[in-house]
Amino acid sequence: MEKSFYELWKLGINIIKTKILFPKARLIRFPFDIRGKKYIKYGKNFTTGTGCRIEAYKFNEKEPKLKIGDNVQINDYVHFSCAESLIIGDDVLIASKVYITDLNHGSYSGAEQSKPQDIVKERRIYTKPVKIGNNVWIGENVSILSGVEVGENAILGANSVVTKNVPKNCIAVGNPARVIKVYNKSIGKWEKILK
């Protein structure tokens, strides 16, 4: 694929800005919004698309920890939001328009529930850690919500809303996401889950 002069010029500017502002990263495409940088760690060869937003905020006296492993690639308009713990393993590939969060404005189950008339922005922030294992592939427009763990080598299909854990070596799709295939190592094939 042949690149235009403008595309090459823009890539060159992004490489220079990356080496100055994010020296361990491979390539950060700007604009790139990072908030709470002191709570965010990223590994070597980190790559982003354009318009990404990564944020870590201190709420309820908790020190947030947002960790991105080595060789992670996120594409355009990905948003990570962390108030407690959001860990992304090594070699993870994330498509565009993905949202991953460990927090929620208010509580809607359990003993302490928020009321509908409470002002949304004033509701208490509730958090549950999120962990994405190594070598996970997250498809376009996926949302991963608080309290979820995704096992290594998992695949999350486009437009999925992940509200529960996904085991390793599985394919999960849908809203809410459910496992539809599991990799059978003994025969070397993906097998459908029978319902």
Catalytic site residue from 41, 65, 79, 105? 105
Question: How far is it, in rounded angstroms, from Cα 172 to Cα 184?
Answer: 15
Using an 8 Å Cβ cutoff, are 133 and 153 in contact?
Answer: yes
Question: How far is it, in rounded angstroms, from Cα 129 to Cα 86?
Answer: 6
Using an 8 Å Cβ cutoff, are 171 and 157 in contact?
Answer: yes
Is residue 105 part of the annotated active site? The answer reads yes
Instruction: Please enumerate in sequence order all residues whose Cβ is within 8 A of that of 12, keeping only pairs 6 or more positions apart, or say none.
Output: none
- Work out the number of other CB atoms within 10 angstroms of the CB of residue 142: 24
Q: List the catalytic residues.
A: 105
